[in-house]
Amino acid sequence: MREWNRTTKKMQLESVPQEMRSTIDEHLYSFNLGPILDDYLICIVTESEKRKKGLFGGGVFGAKIPKHVVQVSIVTPTWLVICAQAEKEDSTSALSVPLKDALAENYQDTPDNDIIQDSGVYVTGIYTGRVGMHGNQRIKYFIGLGEEPAASEFKDILFQSIQRNRKTRYGA
């Protein structure tokens, strides 16, 4: 049984909840990313509800895992922008990663899925506004997704956009 019940749907950028849109706009301004959302390719929202206690009793090393998370994920021709809000509005945060340096893998195709069944993608890269642990700036970030057609479309667009950016960067 999956630990999370996830629902993913497509949305227009203009429909992103105001608190989350403000957090995204602040992030873009803080890191001088400019109008990268003007020509976005897809915007989705995933709502995740925790079903049961996790592998570590609801938290890892004493960390409290929220029971409800809303995550907006936006793919542009050159960036992935993510905004997550956990239960309380004051826990909203945003981060972004340039697609030219990103790698993505379907979570269900990883060994992690044998331990904790879920659906989504791992995106590894150097995220704007986030520094890795132990001196490592490359972060593997999980984007949980539902089983709806919007989730599949998001993955397709994300994988294609990363591939297109990496070809441009490395001349492959």
Considering its fold, how many domains does the chain have in total? 1
DSSP calls for 120-139: EEEEEEE-BT---GGG--EE
Note the pLDDT tens digit of each residue in 94-140. 999 999 989 999 888 888 767 877 889 999 998 986 655 555 578 88
For 106, the enclosing helix (H) or strand (E) is strand 103-106
Q: What is the pLDDT along the chain (172 residues), one digit of tens a residue?
A: 678 889 999 999 999 999 999 999 999 999 999 999 999 999 999 999 887 665 555 554 445 566 888 999 999 999 999 999 987 556 889 999 999 989 999 888 888 767 877 889 999 998 986 655 555 578 889 999 999 999 999 999 999 999 999 876 555 5
H or E element, residue 156: helix 149-170
- The enclosing H or E element of 3 equals none
* Four-point Cα dihedral 55, 60, 66, 68, nearest 10: -40
Alpha-carbon distance values, 24 to 3, 16, 32 (Å): 28, 10, 12
Query: Which structural domain, as residue segments, surrounds residue 21?
Result: 4-170
**If you ran DSSP here, which 8-state letter would residue 158 be given?**
H
Q: Can you name the residues that pair with 172 across neighbouring β-strands?
A: none
Q: Which CATH number do you get for residue 116?
A: 2.30.29
Find the DSSP H helices in 5-148. Answer: 18-30, 112-115
